[in-house]
Amino acid sequence: MTATAKSSLPETAAIKSPRLTRRARTLLGHGALHVLLIIWGITFLIPLLWVLTTSLKTPGQVFIVPVQWIPKTPRWSNYREIFEILPLTSFIRNSLFVTAMGTLGSVFSSLLVGYSLARLRWPGRDAVFTLLVATMMLPGIVTLIPTFILFKYLGWLDTFLPLFVPSWFGVPFYIFLMRQFMIGLPYELEEAARIDGASSLRILAQIIVPLSGPAIAAVAIFATLAHYNDFMGPLIYLSTNDKFTLALGLFWYQGRYGNFWHLVMAASTVAITPVLILFFIAQRHFVRGIALTGLAGR
């Protein structure tokens, strides 16, 4: 028995050795990948770090070589000064209004159209969806002039209407995102509701919408970022300073006071803070919504 046990030990070690080697290689590969991603992430964070540190410097410290990443005496008064120089509160209020209206319109229209394309059967549905996907490949600059002429005849220039009203008529990408998510929902729930006499709108409101939380969150985040960071729309349609959004207001300030980079960076920090907070709060819903629509390559 002892001889047999001794002879089996080398065989067991020989069997486990390749497994340990493969596991070690896997751990080593994952570790190298994480180190590479950390280095890559730090590289992308350097510009943001420069913006934050510059916003706390004096004018003479901005272009010091070598770069002084952390000021010895942070100048927090820069943030108070930008609110005194700029109507920053008005810019923020305008941006929040346009963003809220545009996000509501995007979610509402994508829910209705996405539900129709995914769950209802009507003649020409597939052709309409194909046309919808085709419009996603059309650059926005192509329709810029016709859209401007349309809003001019409507008398909407120098108003907020051109910035969010189009969202209430549907955005192709958001509709596509919502439709792809709704296709994966079980049809049994909808059929049971129809047997009980529920209408299509009631099914949408009481069954589809509660199940489509991740997709709605993804659309809402996309729409919020698009409207909040929109620069071309306000630049074309707005001409009164009191109606400027935050992106256009910062550009206007930079054009007039571009030499005061410490104040420009302080205003930029105020502008990007809400976006960063929103992304970190809703990151889990955003990733889940993208993954479950099939856009993540799964």
The token duo for 168 is 């209430």
pLDDT number for residue 292: 57
Into which CATH architecture does domain 88-292 fall?
Orthogonal Bundle (1.10)
Note the pLDDT tens digit of each residue in 53-103. Answer: 888 888 888 877 777 788 888 888 889 888 888 888 899 999 999 999 999
Distances in whole angstroms, Cα of residue 237 to Cα of each of 88, 153, 234, 256, 260: 20, 13, 5, 20, 28
Would you say 207 and 193 are in contact if contact means Cβ atoms under 8 Å apart? yes
- Whether 291 and 298 have beta carbons less than 8 Å apart is answered as yes
pLDDT in tens, 126-168: 899 999 989 888 888 888 899 999 999 999 999 999 999 999 9
The number of residues in the chain equals: 298
pTM for the whole structure: 0.79
* SS percent in the chain: helix, strand, coil, step 5: 80, 0, 20
**Cα(110)–Cα(178) distance, integer angstroms:** 6
Q: What is the mean pLDDT of the chain?
A: 84
Q: Which amino acid, 81?
A: E
Rounded to an integer, the average pLDDT of 252-274 is: 81
